[in-house]
Structure 1
Amino acid sequence: MKKIDLTSSEIGMLWTQYVQNSMTVQILSYLLATVEDEEIKAVVTYALEIARDVTSDTRSFFKEEGLPIPKGFTEEDVEVNAPKLFLDPFILMFLESIGKAGAAAHAVSLAVSSRKDVRDLFTKSATNTMKLYNMSVDTGLAKGLYVRPPQIDVQDEVEYVEGKKYFSPFNKRVLNTVELIHLFENIKTNSIGEMICTGFAQTTKSKKIQSYMERGKQISRKHSKVFADILMDSDIRPPMPSSGCVTNSTSPVFSDRLMMFFKSVLSAAGQGNYSTASTASMRYDLVLNYQRLSVEIALYAQDGADILMKNGWLEEPPQALDRKELRKKS
């Protein structure tokens, strides 16, 4: 049987999963070395196993297809013996986040793949990351660390929108449950982003990167407040994760390249979250908030990309051959 070549979508997704999971391996290796709670350690161990498997499996595809293997990230990008930087409650929250993000990312990768062996890989990875998410939530609930979404009373009967007032940014109605989902999740992700920026800012030796991380911390804090204030306007108190989850250690843990790349991934995820929330929200003031805050993230991400490029840290995804250049050479 003739071998079927990988499509551009498959190559792109395999590349993305390799680079991001090779980074995740380094982060989780450090968290495993510093976590203290045995039950949380079991979740970290499983998460690390998933990331290593995905890195190994995607690397095999590149080797078998004769494609350049991405550099990604290695043990050189982490100091696993560094003092503890993040407390165990943050580690569990982080695991919940990557389980959720991983399941979504692998599902998208599956949806654009054609070859059965590639689909099998992403199906397995999506299933494993769903299990990771459930493990982290179950552990958080058992330990009283899981931050639940708000609980509210809803109307007794089905209702229909009767006029444009429902969408008005001026006569603000109470929030519906779909809008609540996105406000809560964006508070949660910004809280995680704030803690990550705090840890990165105090452990880098670069003043430029320290300044960049401090700026990211302030953006995350500002966005969390915007969303929390919207909830409070509807008399809903936002459940807030603890912010005191970073130790006072200043010893370097991760390479500057890894930290900057990780922030680029978080910024892209943030923009995607805001875009989804904007589409799902039916109050125009919410839509405008998501759109203007998304612009702020985009500008921040662009500055981060500039730092990556100037330092030669931004690895290029595989791309199509430049036929014009080939003609020039011939």
Structure 2
Amino acid sequence: MNKVHITANEIGILWTQYVQGTMTIQLLSFLLLKSEDEEIKAIIQRAIDITKKLVQDIYQLFEEEKLPLPYGFNENDVDLDAPPLFIDPFPLSFIETMFKAGMVAYAVSLAASSREDIRTLFTDAVSDTMQLFNACTETSLNKGIFVHSPQIKVQKEVEFVEGKRYLSPFQKRILNTIEITHLFENIKTNTVGEMVCTAFAQTTQSKEVRNYMERGKNISAKHIQIFSDALRNSDIMPAMPSTVYVTDSSFPVYSDRLMMFFLTVLSATGQGNYSAASTASMRYDLIINYQRLSAEIALFAKDGLDYLIKHGYLEEPPQALDRQEIMKHDKHQS
């Protein structure tokens, strides 16, 4: 049976996952080497193994299809001899955040693929990542460092919305459980973002990158405050994730290219989270907040991309042939 030709969807998805996977391996390799907790090291190693398997499978597909392999990231983008940049609880929060987003990305990649071998690749990635996420959560729970979402009392009877007041941004009702979920989860992800930006700001040797990371740190802190205030206004006081997992090291660890690219990935994840939260929320003030904060992240991400382009750090995804250029070239030759 003839193998089905690979589609544009599949090429773009595989390309993206390869580049992000090679980046993730470098990020985690440093965390693994500096971790002192054996249980946490086991989780980090498992995350690396899952990512390496995915990267290797994509590499083989690109070889078989005779597609140009992305440059991605490698050991030159990390200094494994640098002093520790984070203390041990951080890798669990980092893996929880990144691989939670990975589950979504792999599921979307699976849904956009048609070839059986590529669907199998992403089916395995989803399954492996789900198991990793469960193991990461269990480890955090066992160590007593898992940050639980708020516990609340709910009404005993089923109720239906009566009138548009339920949606009003002016006569604000108490938050429902769906809105609480998104507010809390966005606090958690922004806390990780704040720590990452802090660590990157204090270790880069570039003033331009440092300013960008400080800006990202301030954006995360502002968003955490806005989401926390929304919870407090409904008399909900969630346990707040810690932001003290960054050491005082100022020794460079990751390349500026890797750090800036990683911030574009974090920004894209944040925009996706805010879009989902905006769709799920039923109070207009929350919807407006998510939309305006998403626009702020979009501008931040654009400036990051501008930096990558300016310094020649941004790889071009595969693109279709420019037929007009080919025809012009042919005419020139004749």
TM-score (norm 1): 0.99
1:60 maps onto 2:68 in alignment: no
Q: Displacement, 1:98?
A: 2.0
The letter of the residue matching 1:63 is: E
1:38 aligns with 2:55: no
Aligned to 2:128: 128
CA RMSD of aligned residues (A): 0.7
Query: 2:96, 2:274 → 1: CA distance?
Result: 19
Q: How many residues align?
A: 330
For residues 33-74 of structure 1, give each alpha carbon's deviation from its aligned partner in whole angstroms, at most 9, with x where no partner exists: 001111111100100101111111111111100000000001
Instruction: Could you tell me which runs of 5 or more consecutive residues in structure 1 were left unpaired when the two chains were aligned.
Output: none
Task: Kindly state the Cα deviation for residue 5 of structure 1 after the two structures are TM-superposed.
Answer: 1.1
Within 2, Cα distance between the matches of 1:228 and 1:163?
27
What is the Cα deviation at residue 99 of structure 1?
A: 2.2
Uncovered stretches (5+) of structure 2, i.e. residues with no partner:
none
**Residue of structure 2 in register with 1:308 after alignment:** 308
Q: Percent identity?
A: 61
Which residue in 1 is equivalent to 2:327? Answer: 327
| 1:20 aligned residue | 20
Q: Which residue of 2 aligns with 1:317?
A: 317
Counterpart position of 2:284: 284
Regions of 4+ moved over 6 Å: none
The Cα offsets for residues 145-178 of structure 1, whole Å up to 9 and x where unpaired, read as 1101111000101100010000000000000011
CA distance in 2, matches of 1:280, 1:181: 10
Distance 2:36 2:231 in 1: 35
Give 1:245 shift.
Answer: 0.5
- Aligned pairs for 1:157-306 (under 5 A) are 157-306=157-306
Contact 1:94–1:192 (CA under 8 A) maintained in structure 2 = yes
8 A contact 1:33–1:81 mirrored in 2: no
1:238 Cα shift?
2.4
For 2:73, the equivalent position in structure 1 comes to 73
Secondary structure of the residue that 1:130 maps to in structure 2?
helix
Shift of 1:91: 1.1
Residue 104 of structure 1 corresponds to: 104
- Give the letter for the 2:287 counterpart: V
Q: Aligned to 1:263, what secondary structure does the other structure show?
A: helix
CA positional deviation for 1:3: 2.4
In the alignment, what sits opposite 1:115? 115
Secondary structure at the aligned position of 2:83 is classed as coil
Corresponding residue for 2:144? 144
